[in-house]
Amino acid sequence: MVAALMALAMAAGSPAPASPAPAFPVEGVWHNPKNSVAMKTGACPDKTGGSKLCGWVVRADDEAQADARDGGTPKLIGTALLHEYRPNGRNRWSGQIFVPDMGRTFGSTLTLVDADTIDVKGCLIGGFLCKTQTWRRG
């Protein structure tokens, strides 16, 4: 009986379990440099049943939507920009990025610069002709 009371008292004094950490430290909503597009990043299932990092457009201004339409993407909001990013070093992920105004997908890396900044780099051909954009958490 004493042992049961001791166990109950210890359990009552234990902190509640912490909420689970996000699967990726880059989960959240991010804004492009012109603040014309907001993208939500998070875990998405991959073909093997695991999870990878993906990102979808959640807000876009009229100009960004028109540019996407000109590139062959009729509806920008809801479009997946980041596809199947997987860890590739400390605070770095590799995957595919879809560029709506070009209507094309390219190899890409995403780097967590700090808690509120990511650099997204896309390259046309095997690491050449690359462009990097800095997105801010919003």
Q: How far apart are the first and last CA of the chain?
A: 54
Domain that holds residue 42: 23-137
Query: What burial letters (b/e) apply to 9-40, b meaning 16+ CB within 10 Å?
Result: eeeeeeeeeeeeeeebebebbbebeeeebbbe
What one-character DSSP code corresponds to residue 20? Answer: P
CATH number at residue 36: 2.40.128.520
Mean pLDDT by 10 residues, the chain (138 residues): 32 39 78 98 84 96 98 98 94 96 96 97 86 96
What is the per-residue pLDDT for 49? 75
Residue 18 lies in a domain: no
Counting the structural domains of the chain, the total is 1
Q: Is the pTM of this model over 0.85?
A: no
Domain presence at residue 6: no
**1 within a domain of the structure (yes/no):** no
pLDDT computed for residue 90 by the predictor? 93
